[in-house]
Chains A and B, each alone.
Chain A
Amino acid sequence: MPNSDDFRVKRIHNMLLEMAKGNFFHSLEPSEKNDNIASLVVMLNMVNEEIRASFVHQGFANAHHTPQCIIQLSLLMDANGTIEMVTNGSCSLLSCLPKDVIGKGLTDLMTEISRKKWAKELSKLLKRDSSETVLHLELMTHQGLLLSNDCHISVFKSLDGAGRKILLNTVFFSKGEPFETGRPKKTMKLTKGIKEPKVILGPRDIQMIRDVHDMILNNLEKDLPQLKDLALQMGTNEYKLKYGFKQLYGITIFRCLVQERLRKTRTLIQHSDLSLKQIAHMTGFKSPAHFSRAFKDKYGLSPSELRETSR
């Protein structure tokens, strides 16, 4: 009984067990109901996303972007969508053995919504000799947990020319911006390596650094005080603040300020009539040139190019 409380609680248990093993890639199917179990499912999904985001840096602080690392799910299928090959990574993500899925239809692993989407798209894709598309699909593991992601689908002619093959690829998940920058090399870079000295952080230090992070976000247009003064104000020393922040958020305090300012400017460039100079000034950038350079570095196009495409 998919809607019975026992069934739903069992799913929650499965999800928690996966999380206990360190697997934060799954989610649970939300329900239409507005009851306590449904609220627990929503909470678990959201907490799971936040934990996942904390893992790229040292943890203890949730990042306000969705970070990404690389675990690939790859499936090779024939033209009917019958699975011919799976990678080991795919099997562990789907919590199954290769023999459990090889020979089965991909649609057996999909949710109802995805099944409809897949059927509609696939008939279009198969009309051509080769074609590619990106589809957001939800696959379901044997324990009923969801893996939902954008999947890259390539349809191509098989070598003997007799039929078509389908390759499905998706990556859970690469670090960086949720917005396409057109700079794939950059988005795959996980860390610059740990050159900085490690600081031992106690719970109080972690809270203090989180407070600094919140302070930056709430005062984006203002200039940061000197690190020395900021440290004094927060009751710590410059060394702990500087390296502790980098340890927790994976970015220096000043870079963090610039990155967050840029996020604010993005919507203003797209949806306001303010001049780029005004936007730069409002968000605390001293020079429009610096703003433009930093923006292009983050989003892959300059503020004026973005404005052009938004009009």
Chain B
Amino acid sequence: MLTSFQKMRKTHENNYAIYLLTDELLHIIYKKVSHIDLKAAEIIVRDRMQLQQGRELPVLCDIREVRNINKPARDYLALEGSQWITTIAFLIDPPITDVISSIYLETHPKSVPTRSFTNKSEALAFLGVEDDYNDKP
């Protein structure tokens, strides 16, 4: 936990997500909200880009609490909203977020290497990041 604390450079929170930024990774945890629409997606991307300041990073995207995200939001996240991301690992909790990530991946071109995982260590391994920090101490 100490390691993680030392490594953490910045955190940020808005109505839809919590962002944890280290030197090597951006961890985004989507909050439990009823619905992600285009407006929400724009805020999610805006805050991410402001946090990253142009630095390209792998992203661990914890979508386990997501229950509903509409098409304009999905399209925006996949196209306008995929700047400065080198790799994405979705952290999912089947069956709902499994379905959401599968449709998202199937219906959008993969400009960024993306995979879904139920296990955080495997997700971090895919992103090439050491599993030595923890957001839930």
Contacts and interface: CB of A to CB of B under 8 A. Distances in A.
A267 interface: yes
Given A34-B93, A113-B34, A217-B111, A263 B99 contact: no
Interface residues of A, number: 39
What DSSP secondary structure best describes chain B's contact surface?
A: helix
A267 B70 CA distance: 19
B72 to A, nearest CB: 5
Interface string A27-71: 000111011101110110111011001000000001011100000
Nearest to A62: B107
A263 B80 contact: yes
A66 B68 contact: no
A259 to B, nearest CB: 10
A266 interface: yes
B95 interface: yes
B86 interface: no
B125 interface: no
A273 B54 contact: yes
A99 interface: no
A217 B109 contact: yes
B95 A38 contact: yes
A296 B79 CA distance: 19
B10 interface: no
Interface of A: 30-32, 34-36, 38-40, 42-43, 45-47, 49-50, 53, 62, 64-66, 113, 136, 178, 213-214, 217-218, 260, 263-264, 266-268, 270-274
8 contacts: A35-B95, A43-B103, A46-B74, A46-B103, A49-B70, A178-B72, A217-B111, A274-B54
Interface of B: 34-35, 37-38, 45-46, 49-50, 53-54, 67-68, 70-72, 74-76, 78-81, 83, 93-100, 103, 107-111
